[in-house]
Structure 1
């Protein structure tokens, strides 16, 4: 049994430490004069490497005045070009080898504007066919951001391990309300915090929950155990700025900012609830199949959460200050 628990912990750490290509890319093309376009191409950077994605335009489109910048974990390339973007296909080369999406926005002077989401299974769009605004895609991005955002999932798992059944609803609700507040403030009000400190605090919050879960198993009472909703609300405010990072790279559609933000937040909540229900279902199943192994499993998970959070905190501090 101990060998199985050790293997479980190692696998969970490996999964949590692995980067996942779920952050969307963003391609904005604006026609300034007939046949003249300004392009903004934003790509996510994972572990210091950009995804091998490249926009492919119909016909010959000569680039000029190309320039790059790399704020936070995003590579932004801007250029101007002469092109015919009224017919043919626009595609993203390499998208089929990733797990990410590309938000496309094409503003044209005479032809209809195009807003679309390109995916690995559908990596091109026909420019002569009208496309609707991809508002519903924000819900999907929200779900993916929580389900593949391992740091956020570990925090939620830590809450489940820490709180007693009667405290779970209030604690998860406090976390939801808190990150919804800062997500809205960041996306709509422009209130932001630097990315690296936010990521460091998120990692520290995970390590703290792992330690608190261990204290509970040892019978040591702490403030976090007595008032877990306060801890969840405080750190939820910081996690909200982390969620806002996904939106900052693609922005919100003009004229539908509130709806898109609401759908993104609902997606986050749907993914969070699904994860909590999944964990509770596994816990219920485990109690019925092997009740004696539950304490050992909870201990292994608590140590895994604490160790992973500590590792991330050290790694992010080193990357920020050294």
Structure 2
């Protein structure tokens, strides 16, 4: 196995970003190599290694041609939760990592608070054992859905419209099935879309539900009221692409893709169920109180839902020209 970190040569107009390589060798042996001519070598002090790792050569590194090399190892491999901290006076570090399984990852790390921290998760290190991977991606799935306000607002809009337990189960199942399909297709690179159009359409899906809710208050039966599971499935395909974008940003090791996909999706569903049951409990408690709420107050949450999603829609449309 092998792992590498790359850095740039020193030009007359140095922008303060070095190139480095992290190379994973056999028996959990690693080299961190930074491109540093002899006159610059003193700028690159000893890295702060993850717990359990030790230098196998001079901790201050050795000069090998135009590279300064740090060698270290441990009884285990580097994994996703590990970090290497570099107290280097550089604006950033462009790192290329060569893992022992042949995969290669490049990422720019910026200097923050006087140090550059190399996250192994962002460099797509594995999680360790399959149990560690399952726990990691399950937690990330729950965290993503509970912090993904736009996804939760779409589910809230569905809960607002759908009446009856059977219809609710059917609608939520359709939404789950749809986003599971596109999450899988995007994760395995069978379906690739830029994030800006996807996020724009997700905002549009919430605007659509807000309009449907308002139409229902005026006595007009919309598509979502007649076929809620169809609407949930159609927009769920878009939301699945949003989940896929988040999963790819986490740092997904090639060897863990099936496991990550399974447990991240399970985490998303678990977080979604937590949200649904919370909303239903709050609604039940509100009905028990039997408060007399004026109509203009009742409609206020719908305006908030529509107003916020419309704002997202406009701001995201403005970003469609971005190459991201």
TM-score (norm 1): 0.64
Unaligned regions of 5+ residues in structure 2, if any? 1-20, 35-46, 50-58, 86-96, 102-117, 121-126
Residues 285-311 of structure 1 show CA distances to partners (whole Å, capped at 9, x for unaligned) of 011114323866652221111111100
Question: Which residue, 24, 28, 40 being the options, matches 1:31?
Answer: 24
Asked whether 1:162 is paired with 2:143, we answer: no
Cα gap change, 1:81/1:155 in structure 2, threshold over 3 Å: closer, same or farther? farther
Name the counterpart of 1:15: none
Give the Å deviation of 1:222. 1.3
Structure 1 or 2, whichever has the larger Rg, is 2
When the two structures are aligned, how many residues end up with a matched partner? Answer: 237
Q: How many Å separate the matches in 2 of 1:290 and 1:226? A: 28
Give the Å deviation of 1:246. 1.3
Cα gap change, 1:182/1:283 in structure 2, threshold over 3 Å: closer, same or farther? same
Name the counterpart of 2:129: 132
Q: How many Å separate the matches in 2 of 1:181 and 1:288? A: 39
Q: How many Å separate the matches in 1 of 2:164 and 2:153? A: 18
Residues 238-297 of structure 1 show CA distances to partners (whole Å, capped at 9, x for unaligned) of 100000011112343343422221100000000001100000000000111143238666
Do the aligned residues in 1 keep the contact of 2:30 with 2:73 (CA within 8 Å)?
no
Cα gap change, 1:252/1:131 in structure 2, threshold over 3 Å: closer, same or farther? closer
RMSD: 3.6
Cα gap change, 1:163/1:124 in structure 2, threshold over 3 Å: closer, same or farther? closer
Give the Å deviation of 1:86. 1.3
What is the SS of the residue equivalent to 2:319? Answer: helix
Unaligned regions of 5+ residues in structure 1, if any? 1-27, 40-55, 65-79, 94-104, 110-122
Name the counterpart of 2:145: 146
Cα gap change, 1:228/1:32 in structure 2, threshold over 3 Å: closer, same or farther? same
Q: How many Å separate the matches in 1 of 2:292 and 2:30? A: 71
What is the SS of the residue equivalent to 2:71? Answer: coil
Higher RCO (C-alpha 8 Å, min separation 6)? 1
Q: How many Å separate the matches in 2 of 1:61 and 1:184? A: 43
Give the Å deviation of 1:85. 2.8
Do the aligned residues in 1 keep the contact of 2:22 with 2:30 (CA within 8 Å)?
no
Q: How many Å separate the matches in 2 of 1:210 and 1:239? A: 17
Name the counterpart of 2:4: none
Cα gap change, 1:309/1:255 in structure 2, threshold over 3 Å: closer, same or farther? same
Residues 72-98 of structure 1 show CA distances to partners (whole Å, capped at 9, x for unaligned) of xxxxxxxx97222315996466xxxxx
Residues 41-96 of structure 1 show CA distances to partners (whole Å, capped at 9, x for unaligned) of xxxxxxxxxxxxxxx633446999xxxxxxxxxxxxxxx97222315996466xxx
TM-score (norm 2): 0.63
Do the aligned residues in 1 keep the contact of 2:186 with 2:244 (CA within 8 Å)?
yes
Give the Å deviation of 1:204. 0.6
Asked whether 1:86 is paired with 2:77, we answer: no
Name the counterpart of 2:311: 311
Name the counterpart of 2:291: 291
